[in-house]
Amino acid sequence: MHLTSCRRTVLSAAATAVAAAALFAAPASAAPSYVAGGCPDVPTVQPFAPWGDVADYLLAPDGDLDAGGSTWLLEDGARVVNGNSPFQVGGPDDRRALSLPPGASATTAPMCIGEEHKTMRFFGTSTRNGALKIEALYSQRNGKQRSVTLGAVRGDDTWAPSEILPMRVNELADADNGLSVSLRFVSKGNSTWTIDDVYVDPFRTR
């Protein structure tokens, strides 16, 4: 079953606008810490093609959890579990996924995000009708960490691809300066989520 907009609810436009205004109105002294030279080209795949999304995607750091989540920050009960999304988009040897009980969070290792990295997507399932909040984290030059909400999705007990979520922080980067960004997933409400195969879309490689 596809996780359509009636199943997966992106945060309201008003809330997103407020968050975006606060982000992009930041003073110059609070500018983000950039990755000079922009982001390198990396191999891409089309994991969502069976669902009509033929965009090229790159895997987030250990986004398939097959390295055991060693580079993830797992908090409040988040853990790597045996099992995988049934679609095996990374290959038949994929055997792990990420479990997020109520209140748990999991954060990827940093990755380079440029202006071309416009969206992200993943696979997931949940035990109840609770929300999963997705955030992008980056550091300012003064070392203070900032977070930007990319969206909140809702699911059910059927594995499915998430909605396509805007990366948002890519607007802080440019052709010569990438941004070091981590993705954080937070289980809200009473649901336990299982997610797998976290991907980012580098638009330039289509």
Q: What is the pLDDT of residue 15?
A: 38
Q: What is the pLDDT of residue 32?
A: 84
Q: What is the pLDDT of residue 4?
A: 39
Q: What is the pLDDT of residue 204?
A: 53
Contacts of residue 84, Cβ cutoff 8 Å, sequence gap at least 6: 94, 95, 96, 97, 196
Q: What is the pLDDT of residue 140?
A: 85
**Mean pLDDT per 10-residue interval, the chain, length 206 residues:** 38 39 44 85 94 96 96 98 92 93 97 95 91 95 91 93 96 89 96 97 67
Domains of the chain: 13-24+34-86+96-205 (2.60.120.260)
